[in-house]
Amino acid sequence: MNRGIELSSGRYLYFMGSDDTLHDSFVLGGVYNSLGCAPDVLYGNVIMGDDRNAYAGKFSKYKLLHKNICHQAIFYKREIFEVFGKYDLNYKYLADYAYNMKVFNQSGLVWLYVDMVIANYALGGASSYCVDEAFHADRGSLIKLFFGDEYLEIFTDTARLIERNRYLERRDSRSMHKRLWLAASKILKKCIPKHIN
């Protein structure tokens, strides 16, 4: 991505994976028409994978704490990279997420959400399945740096609640399986003739 930025000459930059596609032949015209107010960043929606799930909606600071704006949905004004630098390649799979966290909270930048599907995002690439350990190790410090202590606390509290919910779901699932097994055993004992035991 950084090499592409260095080689680019356009007013806006857009990044797409080799197996992704623009949603239809009208996307670029729609994006062009939306650039009249000259936003620093324009973003929309994507359709993910073969099941055609929409990854959509306007982002807030809170929403960005928990998930990234899909890379295939964003057009950045070229000057953004001149002012704020390029992608941090220490984050092998989530460099775009770290960058969005950095840029989203810069005062004076205009982020424009357009309610249109920009791209079809193909699942199956490395970023879909690989864990970016460096990003996850640094996520708290990135949130503190770019969002502040208040949002770090919100993120930490939310992460604890999610983990607690997962624990309860696993516990309840095991408990339910145990109860079902005991009930099935009682039924089987009644149904199976004694001489089979």
Residuewise pLDDT in 10s, the chain (197 residues): 999 999 999 999 999 988 888 999 999 999 999 998 899 999 999 998 777 788 889 999 989 988 999 999 999 999 999 999 999 999 999 999 999 999 998 999 999 999 999 999 887 666 667 889 999 999 999 999 999 999 898 888 887 777 777 777 777 766 666 666 666 666 656 555 554 44
Residue pair 45/57 in contact by the 8 Å Cβ criterion: yes
Q: Are 157 and 55 in contact (CB under 8 A)?
A: no
Task: Judge if pTM exceeds 0.95.
Answer: no
Give the start-to-end residue ranges of the domains of the chain. Answer: 2-130, 158-192
Give the single-character DSSP code of 151: H
Place of tokens 């309840």: 172
CATH class label, 2-130: alpha beta
